[in-house]
Chains A and B, each alone.
Chain A
Amino acid sequence: MADNIIEIKDLKVDFHTDDGVVHAVKGISFDIPRGKTVGLVGESGSGKSVTSLTAMKLVPNPPGEISGGQILFEGKDLVKASEAEMRKIRGNKISMIFQEPMTSLNPVFTVGDQIAETLMLHQDLSKDEAIEKAIELLDQVGIPNPSTRVKSYPHEMSGGQRQRVMIAMAIACEPDVLIADEPTTALDVTIQKQILDLLADLQKKYGMSVLFITHDLAVIADIADEVVVMYRGDIVEKGSVSDVFNKPQHPYTKGLLACRPSLDKNPERLPTVSDFMTVDGKEISYDISALLKEKTTRPIADDHDVLLEIKNVKKHFPLKKNFFGKVQNWVKAVDDVSFKVRRGRTLGLVGESGCGKTTLGRTILRLIEPTAGEIIYDGKDLVGMNRQEMREMRKKMQIIFQDPYASLNPRMTIGSAIMEPMIIHNIGANKADRLQKAGDLIEKCGLPREMLNRYPHEFSGGQRQRICIARALAVEPEFIICDESVSALDVSVQAQILNLLLDLQEEFGLTYIFISHDLAVVKFFADELAVMNSGQVVEMADALSIYQAPKEDYTKKLLSAIPKGIPKDLLVTQLQ
């Protein structure tokens, strides 16, 4: 029996588009050893997902086409396998977990039915036996009360639980290979840690081989045995985890390792991949000490000028009404929160999904009306302002949302999108002037001004977030709320956007509230930190002391969830 359960040899995948052939995967070779975990790392568009879909023969044809190479599964070439043969392999021998647990479960069937379906299909079990087995599986993936939850519908479960259900479905037939395509990217860091632990346990228990795909090197350090790094359809580096992490050869790997904010460092700016290499993959020499330059902590005096103060803000949503329409039960999304944001500084707001941080952010801008409390901006209480007064305030206060795909109108050129706030607030003398300003803004955010005539779908996630930033800056605001603004981005892009936001803060003296679930990012970015749990601020202090001396258990839990996989700090090692 061969050591390798899957051997990929010189695999090429092309996509035929209107603009010509795109070579998504350009002849890559790697093996997945039996019973081991291989991490496949790369940024969006590097071809890593296409590679995994090809292994299942799930790449739609047309436009996709496997133009060369072999995928040997237990010695059998899957590229030549018929659809009928593949159907027996999929879900049975090789199964897959997808990124988005919200959409990869069918909303109209109970989770039990969905797990049972795979079992009935591949293992010839009766419905009752399959449900029995489904309960067992749910128990294994750590769903509490599995015999009740088996009858739940996907919408009744949290994101983490849904991903657990997906895992239960994937391991139902005890597959030989499990392909996990960014299974934790859409989840909070705390949930991510639980899912990673679960996957590692199951892998050991069943002796499965796992292909773990991610954009975040730090995530796989804990669970992978081998790492394959992809860039633009090619493998740039592969090797054992300790080799790749300790002695990275390719500049891209070095960049990926360096760009993730870590808890124990305090750099002024994050290193990015472009500090290590050019876009076409040529190594450039870099100045380690410049990349490691420490951030000068900006002390915050007690009498520092306060730009925004919120006092006892509450936002309660009605949950249940009785027959007469009287509310009987409330969700206390934000429950009595008070804090101050100082001019020119950044307040980090950190907590898990559902802790109320996003609701709080939107309440501050009065996109949601607060139930009670005061929001005092520059001495004026926003609560109770009429629409006209509020419109004036919107010029000063801006927000950048999480999802750069959803926050731009798909039918508006980005030029119009950036000029729109200027029209609303009468900024700029005429159209030419506004166009000029929009061009300046987009250049400031790192995109050429020729792009103004394009539509949002022509840009990548990171570029769109730059556009959203340019748009927020169009009204010349002094205060910006960044609501999970980098959470949807690849680690390498995240570093660029964080650096851009810091540069802009320096240039325009902006004040930020930075909302995130990732403590490492917030700690790098913010001066002060507020930790939120169940609608309340549980701990608040400057960023460094929260990290060094967390007081609350909840904060400690958040801290321990950050992937600490990187064995040694690359740059520090090189410096020594």
Chain B
Amino acid sequence: MGFSIPGHHGLRGVMTAFPSSQRNPVQAIGGHARSIAGWCLKEPTGAFGALILALLILAAIFAPVITSYEPNAVNYRDLLQPPGATHLLGTDELGRDIFSRLLYGARLSMAVGVSAVVLSVLVGVPIGLLSGYVGGFVDELIMRVFDSVIALPPLVLALTISALLGPGLVNATIAISIVSVPTYIRLTRGQVLSIKNEDYVLAARSIGVPVWNILFVHILPNAIAPVIVQASLGLGFAIILESSLSFIGLGAQPPVSTWGSMVQTSFQFLSLAPWFVIAPAVAIFAAVLGANLLGEGLRNSLDPHQKQRM
């Protein structure tokens, strides 16, 4: 699967990859968790993706240790310096160290990506559980409302929401979450529909277990696997979307930079300082590649059909 707007294509891909015949993916996860090394051998590309993400996250966390330059310190005597010993990746149009801005930018880009995913899972999964389990009119209503969200192109929708909320990273995170939420709702609901008539669910209902208990204790653990895969793919989507919003000025506000706003600024200097645009672009590429590879790897190992094909 390609990673152009993985959110929505990912939805279809994941849904077809998890037919209703799937029974107990929790055991599959548990099994692999016991042997991470074994999983890495079985899914080398997925492991590679995880490695990229891990490196980026570590670089973000240890940014102050890795670089000594303050990311927003301007130095107008060293404008647009090429990469070299003093400045590993050169300097930008205000003489700021690009490597340092890249690392500190990683903090924000990753934080926005992860928060957006966590937020949309926390909102989307419970709604999906409820919608699938209750069914009927409630289900119809919820589905039609969120279908209308899916009907809009994700970037345009995120752009509109960001513009309405005002520029800034927090608002960008909210916008990305709103765009991503329907995916998790549909995914969870689909799983619930195939699980809710299973014997163990019926048994729980017959002995009067409360609805919330059935949803979160009996159904959720068996419906979560595709959500985990989607969350991993969604991370890549969220990072791209955040970069796009920052590119048009709706994300990070100067002087703070994320990868997207760095690409935006460097764009003007394409012919004079090509290294300036390459650095953040490669970072975005690596993060999205990592998230997608990890997602693919997880799907391969969690989906019985994929295994048979291999």
Tell whether A and B belong to one assembly: no
Residues of A in contact with B (beta carbons under 8 Å apart):
none
Residues of B in contact with A (beta carbons under 8 Å apart):
none
